[in-house]
Amino acid sequence: MRLITRSLVLLIIGGLWSELVFGAAPDGQEDICTNPAVFFCENWENRPLGPVWNFVGVGGYKNNGWAVSDSITPDIVNTERVDGTKAIRMVTGANKASGGWIDAAFPNGAAFRTVYWRWYVKYSPNYVWSPEATKHNETVSFDRIAGASGADLGVFNFTSNMGFRTPNVVVAATQKDFVAGNPAAAYFPPNRNGGFSQFDVSRWYCVEARITMNTGALSTDGYIQGWIDGVQYYEYPNVNIVSLHGDNPTHSGFFLASYWNCIPGGPDGTDCSRSPHPEIYRYMDNLVGSTQRIGCLGSSPSPSPAVQTPSGPSSVIVQ
């Protein structure tokens, strides 16, 4: 049975507390998707089983549809799920660096300075973490000077590095700190509530990230927060996330990657002969994007700032 997610708004009416419950969402999406603060939803329930390629570009409720890099993987399966009948399976082939990616622009060309997004993730029993970097998901943000043809200024969420399972929030490789030769400054590890040691295999995690871009190229008013299973483990106020690509960067889409960094030295960039691994899977379900805290299924998250007004249109590159 699908869990019923209720987003609660407390109202004072005649001196009494009352609950406003958001109604059922179309396409079998979570009830919270009807919340006006939510701008993106995907739980795969109205998607056919098999390769994502089969429904490339097909939209849905608060969803413009996905672009995809491979005709076979990733795929939709019914062998794993959180609260419905399906989940997406991100595949990394044996001794390979990637099994394809998908991305989606926000509906109506919207872009936001602050994005909260929540999803569920589960790693297959045989999952092996890369000795270099195990990618996860990314908020897409393009160079506002060059537009969609410019560098991707995205922020990877819950990426693990150097063989460890500890997830970090990582500014993408095109960002200032990598360019300046100081990559460590682009990593934001768990720093609250005793830290978070590692993801384990064969269990679902509820993960949520909040990324606020800085307003000016040199300003330090960016903000990074992160929660795992409802517990906040990341708190980084007053940070500069982007400094080389103009003022007022925004988020314009979500990117799901299966990329698994190999130790350099193989015959080509996708060969992992120096860091062999079996075919491995990362399952994901119940993706929600919002301008306010979302929380896990069945929870009522702590309050967050008011809803933002979308900025001008943006797009996601399809390669």
77, β-bridge pairs: 87
Give the H or E element holding residue 176.
helix 176-179
> Computed from CA positions of residues 72, 74, 79, 81, in that sequence, does the dihedral angle turn out positive or negative?
negative
Separation between Cα atoms, residue 211 and residue 116, nearest integer Å? 7
Provide the pLDDT for residue 141: 76
Query: Taking Cα atoms as reference points, which of 184, 188, 178 lies closest to residue 210?
Result: 188
Fold of the CATH domain 8-290? Jelly Rolls (2.60.120)
* Ordered DSSP codes for 60-76: BTTB---EES-SS-SEE
Contact 174, 249 (CB under 8 A): no
Distances (CA, A) of 133 to 70, 142, 222: 21, 22, 24
If we measure between CA atoms, which residue out of 290, 59, 261, 74 comes closest to residue 160? 261
User: Which burial class, exposed, middle or buried, applies to 179 when counting CB atoms under 10 A from its CB (0-12, 13-18, 19+)?
Assistant: middle
Q: CB 1: neighbour CB atoms within 10 A?
A: 5
pLDDT per residue, tens digit, the chain (319 aa), is: 333 332 333 222 233 223 345 568 898 999 999 999 999 999 999 999 999 999 999 999 999 999 999 999 999 999 999 999 999 999 999 988 889 999 999 999 999 999 999 999 999 999 999 888 888 888 887 655 444 445 556 777 777 877 778 887 766 544 444 445 555 567 788 999 999 989 999 999 999 999 998 888 778 898 999 999 999 999 999 987 776 666 788 889 999 999 888 876 555 556 687 888 999 999 999 999 999 999 999 876 665 544 343 443 333 332 2
